[in-house]
Amino acid sequence: MSKRKLQRFDELTRLERVYQFPFPLVHTDHGMKGNWNKNVFKNDNPIVLEIGCGRGEYTVALSKDNPDKNFIGIDIKGARIWRGAKTANEQNILNAAFLRVHIEWLAQFFEKGEVSEIWITFPDPQPQLTRENRRLTNKKFINLYRMLLKPGGKLHLKTDNIGLFEYTLEVLTTEEGEMEVCTKDLYMDTPKGFNLSIQTTYEKIFMAEGYKINYLRFKI
């Protein structure tokens, strides 16, 4: 491991509102479960998760754009989370937090119905059929999100990968809920009130290469 990565891992342990659980738990609920508003944010505002947040660019930007909501970026890559967490600390963004944990374990950290919205921004599409179980919009994960979300909670997906987008649409056809927004060209068919200025590094790269951005919002 590089010296730079080690330095980031070390600094991550000292940043505020960063919680790290990279090793397997014994299938027991953590004390954070059901207590994020009380113990972390000190308010009763809606909680929004960014799944696979990477560098946390979306988590940070959404937090600044929506001070009336609380945002938690979730990823297992500590060296990536470091960037978003450091920015949130430097800018004193108190409604942004980060959780370093495997997505599969989220039920141990969030109470049923504790979350109001979930964002999935530019996930690895895992195009191989043998890796379908790792796609963040497969049936297993959708069931997990449904459990975490309040009734009427919303799932957002933003991706450049049309294959993953169409796969997700197919999965959601079997789910109870309402497709509120669905576009295969977000910058030509922009939903009312959508902030196009919030972009990840990957999004900027994909757009520069000519890819269209797909977006959906599904109300569960």
Q: Which two tokens stand for residue 107?
A: 């039920």
State the catalytic residue, choosing from 124, 160, 185, 189. Answer: 124
Cα separation, 22 vs 77, in Å, equals 9
Pairing of strands 70-75, 149-159: unpaired
- Burial of 92 from C-beta contacts in 10 A (0-12 / 13-18 / 19+): exposed
The verdict on whether 189 is a catalytic residue reads no
Q: Could you tell me the sign of the dihedral formed by the alpha carbons of 119, 124, 127, 132, in that order?
A: negative
Amino acid at 114: E
In angstroms, the Cα distances linking 30 to 13, 114, 157, 198 are 18, 14, 27, 32
User: What b-and-e string marks burial along 27-46, b requiring 16 or more CB atoms within 10 Å of the CB?
Assistant: eeebebbbebeeebbeeebb
Residue 2, amino acid: S
Active site residues: 124
